[in-house]
Structure 1
Amino acid sequence: MPADLAVIGLGHLGLPLAQAAVTAGIDTVGYDPDPRPYAELRAGRSPVEGALTASEVRRMLSGGFRPTTDAAELGRVRTAVICSPTPLGPDRTVDLTALGDAARALASRLRPHTTVLLESAVPPGTTETFLRPLLEEGSGLVAGRDFHLACSPGRLDPGNRTRTLANTPKVIGGLTPACTESAAAFYGRLTDKVVRARGPREAEMTKVLETNFRHVNIALVNEMAVLCHDLGVDFWDVIRCAETKPFGFQPFRPGPGVGGHGVPVDPGCPPHGGRASGHPLRMVSLAQEINDRMPSYVIQRCATLLNEHGKSVRGARVLLLGVTYKPDTADQEAAPAREIATRLMDMGAQIGYHDPHVLDWRVRERPVPRADSLYEAAAAADLTVLLQQHRTYDLQGLAVKAQLLLDTRGATPAGAAHRL
């Protein structure tokens, strides 16, 4: 059965997009070569933790959403949006394997006048130098002439119920002006505001700037948190004071590490064998280095606190609270909790965890014991470490019950716990 829209990749980007499209009355099919998302969705469950609730999935299905593993469905749509995952590979460069597979599946079925949109987080140049050749070679069509091609990087904030696709401006950069307008016509049905970039590279670079802005500023406050601890300065109070300035300052807060899907990308290392600019982003590289050190710093603070209370890390019972990368969501993408748990285990600690959104958590493929009663577990643990401040946590009560509490988020009342 023909559909107006195909969403390719039913992950943290694709599912909310498909939901918004169905809500807007767009006949939508969701394609993913992995059979697991299909099975989960058909059973009325979200295949991505925290992306959609079961009731939202059921409403999508009743609204006509059709998940599928059959790539033939891609040849029957007017618009195709690629939302494939683009994780970091072992060498810390963006892995475009899933994007390439999606492009090939679409290319062999691509029809003239179709609009193809890329939402995946990619380095600048990917739409033109990686995606476009695959689509043209596989279809025999020419982008910008026979079909429309544009980039509109995903901007969703997982777990944020106030900032949705509808009220978050959508940046669009088309291969040609006609491509941009075709993309704008589609997204105009889903969002209140469309922002036209000059082209695909400008749209791709917008995502790079937004992500690196976050990472660089988090690195700054992470470094200052370490410095302030050494100097005996309450950095959380410093932030409280600084954020009262009505201009020239935006508050960021330190933490145990930086998680999330929007990885920082250095355009000095372009995709698919492209030419390097010769000007790598040194500040971005340094920010990444600083943020990557934070799990080690948390371990150092854990060891110091235990030692000050006459205990060793080896054999200590350590309870980790909140193992997701954002509060009030089940999304664990690149959360620092796993690395922190791994390092503590290597040092001989007995690890347990509590998270209201994560019922099963594994480190090195081994299940980590989950605390059923938070207060009892905190009272029994030699050290409790708050890694994520979920709304359900009563931190003042927790500070009373815990033998020793390290707050890496600055969420506890002043003086109630040891802060990062």
Structure 2
Amino acid sequence: MGNIKEKIINKTAVLGVIGLGYVGLPLAVEKAKAGFKTIGFDVKESKVEMVNNGENYIGDVVNEDLKEIVVSGYLSATTDFAKVAGADCVCICVPTPLDKHQQPDISYVESSARSILPYMHKDMMIILESTTYPGTTQELLKPILEESGLECGIDFYLAFSPERVDPGNIAYKTKNTPKVVGGVTENCTEVAALLYENILNAPIHRVSSPSVAEMEKILENIYRNVNIGLVNELAVLCNKMGIDIWEVIEAAKTKPYGFQAFYPGPGLGGHCIPLDPYYLSWKAREFGFHTSMIESSMMVNDRMPEYCAERASKILNRYKKPLNGSKILLLGIAYKKDIADYRESASLRVFRELEKEGAILKYHDPYVPQFNDRGVIYTGEKVLSKELLEETDLVVITTDHSNIDYAYVQRHAKMIFDTKNATKDVEIKENIELL
């Protein structure tokens, strides 16, 4: 027991990170910057080559930091999972998507555990960071890893510590975001907490089990899902009543207690908030429990891209133009402002809805010059020109990037449908309709 703790404290422990995506690469970088020799593992050769060349592909990683730790030898990457044998602590940061039936696909987590299994050794620490349903760490990972003949909590240590990554957040990065840790045993929790205490500049909150930590992460995202569902439903109602939902929210924000502002939009995006509720509702069925409030909010949010397409159609109808054949320019494909990530983007779903109805679509996104949607490559308009805006029948703002001049857009567009209140500071609003 003392060996792994001593290695962490004197920073001789070798750390591994499986999965070098939006969660894994920033975590690997912080580990290396903290003075630990770190090995990144990924099945994609292209990612491995870029890391080893000091080439950054994640927005929240500082290019110079990556180059420095690679050149100094603190960080390397590989597709060879046999090198797990040389690691003292391994964090699993792989995707946990939904399958075509909207059920959890934890095959990447299981595959990672199977990749570690042949190289398990005494005093090894395994931490799962991928968001998943409560019970995954103890019900799936623990039995697989114990096939090694080693006993969890005695011979090796296992914990869950949910990732908390908010791409584009200027104030909170991996380094300074508080961390929750729940181990299978008390020893497991202490080792995992010690590791993060020596890497991060943030409080470490210990919980009694991996299941508590897993549920905590689901709660974080469902909290947002439900509240966004509530405000989206109110946005639809307010439109029918002729009330500006954005003004309503601004008024409610003046209350200094008991209210937190959430905002409507074309739907939910990203890899967590739209997906995580499905993990819990799936697991809840095992206990004969129906997560009615959560599922209701999911239904509201899932309906928003279609609703936005309907609103766009109604705006065009007022100008005696059918949606079919109209020229529509979407401003934004990324799932949130000022980032390049378009995973599960609601903007993309609005794009599909409009395209399905026969609209002639173009898009402009300074962060996403090109995107691949189910095998089809779309290329955006590089310049948001006066000519482009004037020839467009309707501009639909689906992502509120801060580096777009919305006053300029307003001056040259025939009509604007703003689903994000990006034009709130534009003085002339006669050709702007808000969600």
TM-score by length of 1: 0.95
1:289 to 296, 299, 312: 299
Query: What SS does the aligned partner of 2:235 have?
Result: helix
Name the aligned partner's letter for residue 387 of structure 1. T
CA distance in 1, matches of 2:308, 2:285: 39
Deviation track 1:346-387 (CA, whole Å, cap 9, x = no partner) reads 211111111111121233422324212213322221111111
CA distance in 2, matches of 1:193, 1:67: 28
Closer, same or farther: CA 381–45 of 1 in aligned 2, 3 Å: farther
2:141 aligned residue: 131
CA distance in 2, matches of 1:378, 1:367: 23
Question: Contact 2:132/2:276 (CA < 8 Å) preserved in 1?
Answer: no
Q: CA deviation at 1:280?
A: 2.5
Name the aligned partner's letter for residue 404 of structure 2. Y
Question: Contact 1:321/1:385 (CA < 8 Å) preserved in 2?
Answer: yes
Deviation track 1:289-322 (CA, whole Å, cap 9, x = no partner) reads 1100000001001101111112111111111111
Query: What SS does the aligned partner of 1:203 have?
Result: helix
Q: CA deviation at 1:97?
A: 0.9
- 1:418 partnered with 2:429: no
- 1:88 partnered with 2:98: yes
Deviation track 1:228-248 (CA, whole Å, cap 9, x = no partner) reads 011000110000010111111
Query: What SS does the aligned partner of 2:56 have?
Result: coil
Question: Contact 1:268/1:277 (CA < 8 Å) preserved in 2?
Answer: no
CA distance in 1, matches of 2:356, 2:175: 46
1:46 aligned residue: 56
- 1:164 partnered with 2:173: yes
Closer, same or farther: CA 229–60 of 1 in aligned 2, 3 Å: farther
1:68 aligned residue: 78
- 1:398 partnered with 2:409: yes
Question: Contact 1:375/1:402 (CA < 8 Å) preserved in 2?
Answer: no
Deviation track 1:194-243 (CA, whole Å, cap 9, x = no partner) reads 00011100000000100100000000000000100110001100000101
Q: CA deviation at 1:268?
A: 4.6
Task: Give ranges in structure 2 of 5+ residues lacking alignment.
Answer: 1-11
CA distance in 1, matches of 2:125, 2:13: 13
Query: What SS does the aligned partner of 2:340 have?
Result: coil
Pairing 1:249-328 to 2, within 5 Å after superposition = 249-262=259-272, 263-265=275-277, 266-270=279-283, 276-328=286-338
Question: Contact 2:51/2:76 (CA < 8 Å) preserved in 1?
Answer: no
Closer, same or farther: CA 183–243 of 1 in aligned 2, 3 Å: same
CA distance in 2, matches of 1:82, 1:46: 20
CA distance in 2, matches of 1:275, 1:140: 33
Name the aligned partner's letter for residue 30 of structure 1. G
CA distance in 2, matches of 1:286, 1:162: 32
Closer, same or farther: CA 223–83 of 1 in aligned 2, 3 Å: same
Q: Among all aligned residue pairs of Structure 1 and Structure 2, give the percentage whose two residues are the same amino acid.
A: 38
Closer, same or farther: CA 70–129 of 1 in aligned 2, 3 Å: same
Question: Contact 2:137/2:159 (CA < 8 Å) preserved in 1?
Answer: yes
Name the aligned partner's letter for residue 396 of structure 2. V
CA distance in 1, matches of 2:77, 2:185: 31
- 1:25 partnered with 2:35: yes
Q: CA deviation at 1:410?
A: 1.2
Question: Contact 2:182/2:207 (CA < 8 Å) preserved in 1?
Answer: yes
1:185 aligned residue: 194
Question: Contact 2:60/2:173 (CA < 8 Å) preserved in 1?
Answer: no
1:6 aligned residue: 16
Question: Contact 1:153/1:207 (CA < 8 Å) preserved in 2?
Answer: yes
Closer, same or farther: CA 60–387 of 1 in aligned 2, 3 Å: farther
1:109 to 100, 119, 122: 119
Root-mean-square deviation over aligned CA pairs: 1.7
CA distance in 2, matches of 1:44, 1:378: 40
1:231 aligned residue: 241
CA distance in 2, matches of 1:211, 1:124: 14
- 1:366 partnered with 2:376: yes
- 1:244 partnered with 2:244: no
CA distance in 1, matches of 2:379, 2:235: 31
Question: Contact 1:148/1:182 (CA < 8 Å) preserved in 2?
Answer: yes
CA distance in 2, matches of 1:356, 1:57: 24
Question: Contact 1:158/1:329 (CA < 8 Å) preserved in 2?
Answer: yes
Name the aligned partner's letter for residue 78 of structure 1. D
1:155 aligned residue: 164
Question: Contact 2:232/2:301 (CA < 8 Å) preserved in 1?
Answer: yes
Closer, same or farther: CA 298–404 of 1 in aligned 2, 3 Å: same
CA distance in 2, matches of 1:181, 1:363: 44
2:87 aligned residue: 77
1:386 aligned residue: 397
Equivalenced residue count is 414
Question: Contact 1:342/1:363 (CA < 8 Å) preserved in 2?
Answer: no
Task: Give ranges in structure 1 of 5+ residues lacking alignment.
Answer: none
1:142 aligned residue: 151
Question: Contact 1:215/1:264 (CA < 8 Å) preserved in 2?
Answer: no
Task: Tell me whether 337-346 or 351-360 shows the greater mean CA deviation.
Answer: 337-346
Query: What SS does the aligned partner of 2:88 have?
Result: strand
Query: What SS does the aligned partner of 1:361 have?
Result: strand
Question: Contact 1:115/1:183 (CA < 8 Å) preserved in 2?
Answer: yes
Query: What SS does the aligned partner of 1:244 have?
Result: coil
Closer, same or farther: CA 364–344 of 1 in aligned 2, 3 Å: farther
